[in-house]
Amino acid sequence: MFERKPVRLDPRIAWFATVRHLLSPMAGVTDRPFRTLCRDHGADLGFCEFTSASGLYYENEQTWRLIDTEGETGRVGIQIFGSDPHHMAAAAALLRARRMDVLDLNFGCPAKKVVRKCGGSALLADLPLLAEITRQVVAAAAPVPVSAKIRTGWDEGSINYGEVGAMLQDLGCVWVTLHGRSRAQKYGGRADWDTIADLVDRLDIPVVGNGDVVDGASYRALVEHTRCHGVMVARGAIGNPWLFAEMKAADAGRRHVPPSFAEMCATTARHIRLEVAQRGEATGCLVVRKHIARCFRGYPGAAHLRRRLYAETTSAGMIAVLAEAARSADPGLGAPETLALEDLAS
C-alpha cells in the first residue's frame, strides 16, 4: 500500500475511504455496459458520460438517455456541464431522484462547443460564475454529494487550480479531481503531476489525480508522487478494463497477470451482449467498435481479428468470430467443438 495523505471525508461519502480507482467520465465511451465491464475488473466507481444541464432542463430526450443508471448496483457518478447557474441547479434537482452516488461538476472540458457557451474549462477563467454555479448546485443536489473535476487553469498564463480547489472545498464539494493539464494543452504533452501533489497538500478533502495513467507502473508513480486519495483513468481504460485489476495489484504489491487472448475475446463478447441489450442490435454492434480498436494490442493477428469483427453486422456474427479466434489462439480452451458460445458470455 502506498502512503496517502489523510483526508477529511464528508459523512455522506464515508464509502469513499476505500475508493482508489475511478473510471473517468468520457463522452461517447462510459455508458452503462462499459462501466459494468470496468467494475467487473475492479473499478471502484464509474462515471456516466458528461451531460448538458441545459439539455436536462429542457427535457431533451437524447440527453436524458445518457443518464442510464437506473438499477445500477456499483458506485456510479453523474457529471453535468453548463454555464447557466439556474439550469445547472435545476438539473441537479431533477437528477436527485436518479440512481447515483455523487454528482460531479465538469469544469475541465476543453471542447470548443462547450467552452464557446462558457461551460467546462471556460469557467476556470470566470471564477465568480464558477462559484455561483457550485453554490447553487450543492444546495439543489442535497443530500446528494457534489464533486468537481477541473484542469490546472485556462492556459499557462492563468494557472489557478489552487485557488479553484480551495474555493470548491469551501463551497461544499466533497472531493476535487484534477487533470494535470490546462485547457490550452487539451490532451497534448505530459500531465503535470506536480500540480496534483500541490493540490493534495493544500486541501483537506480528497484529491483525485488524473492524467496519463495507463498501467500499474504509471499508477504507482502518480500515487507516490502526489499522495492523492484516488486515481481516475480515462484513455488507458478504453479497450483495457483490466487496467483496474492492474492498479489493484499495484496497491497490494502483487504482480499483475495480464488477460489471456481468450479472456480478451470473452470480455469483448460480454461487452457486445451488454451493448446490444442496452441499445439494440445495430447501434450496440457499432458502439463496441471503438473499444475493439484498442483491444488485443500486441497480439499477433490483432489487426486481422479487428477487420473481421468490423466486417460483421450482427452480434451473433461478431461473437462467432471471437469464439473462433479464442479457440485457435488458446489451446487451453479445449477442442473447438467443445467451446460453446456461452463460454464467451461469462
Ligand X SMILES: Cc1cc2nc3c(=O)[nH]c(=O)nc-3n(C[C@H](O)[C@H](O)[C@H](O)COP(=O)(O)O)c2cc1C
Q: Is 192 in the site for ligand X (CB under 6 A)?
A: no
CB atoms within 10 A of CB 180: 23
Q: Is 24 in the site for ligand X (CB under 6 A)?
A: yes
Binding to ligand X (CB under 6 A) within 135-174 occurs at 149
Choose, by CB under 6 A, the member of 2, 4, 5, 27 that binds ligand X.
27
Torsion sign, CA atoms 78, 82, 85, 87: negative
Residue span 217-256 as binding mask against ligand X, x where in contact by CB under 6 A, dash where not: ----------------xxxx--------------------
Q: Is 21 in the site for ligand X (CB under 6 A)?
A: no
Q: Is 213 in the site for ligand X (CB under 6 A)?
A: yes
Q: Is 179 in the site for ligand X (CB under 6 A)?
A: yes
Residues 6 or more apart whose Cβ sits within 8 Å of residue 61: none
Q: Is 195 in the site for ligand X (CB under 6 A)?
A: no
Using the minimum distance from each CB to ligand X, give the nearer residue, 213 or 276.
213
Using the minimum distance from each CB to ligand X, give the nearer residue, 236 or 259.
236
Q: Is 29 in the site for ligand X (CB under 6 A)?
A: yes
Start-end of H helices in the chain: 32-40, 53-57, 61-65, 85-95, 112-115, 127-141, 161-170, 193-202, 216-226, 243-252, 261-279, 281-287, 289-292, 302-311, 315-329
Cβ at position 229, least distance to ligand X in Å: 16
CA distances from 82 to 87, 92, 119, 172, 305 (A): 8, 12, 5, 19, 41
In degrees rounded to 5, what are phi and psi of residue 97?
A: -80, -10
- Known catalytic residue at 109: yes
Residue span 93-122 as binding mask against ligand X, x where in contact by CB under 6 A, dash where not: -------------x-xx-------------
CA angle, residues 181, 187, 191, in degrees to nearest 5: 40
Choose, by CB under 6 A, the member of 211, 230, 239, 259 that binds ligand X.
211
Side-chain half-sphere exposure of 333, counting CA atoms within 13 A: 23
Binding to ligand X (CB under 6 A) within 273-292 occurs at none
b vs e for 34-49, b when ≥16 Cβ sit within 10 Å of the residue's Cβ? bbbbbbebbbbbbbbb
Using the minimum distance from each CB to ligand X, give the nearer residue, 135 or 235.
235
Stretch binding ligand X (CB under 6 A), from 27-35, 248-256, 318-326, 335-343: 27-35
Q: Concatenate the DSSP letters of all residues of 296-339 into one string.
A: STTSTTHHHHHHHHHH--SHHHHHHHHHHHHHHH-GGG--GGG-
Cβ at position 232, least distance to ligand X in Å: 7
Binding residues for ligand X, rule CB under 6 A, total: 22
Using the minimum distance from each CB to ligand X, give the nearer residue, 208 or 309.
208
Q: Which sequence positions are flagged as catalytic?
A: 109
List of residues contacting ligand X (CB under 6 A):
24-29, 49-50, 79, 106, 108-109, 149, 179, 210-213, 233-236
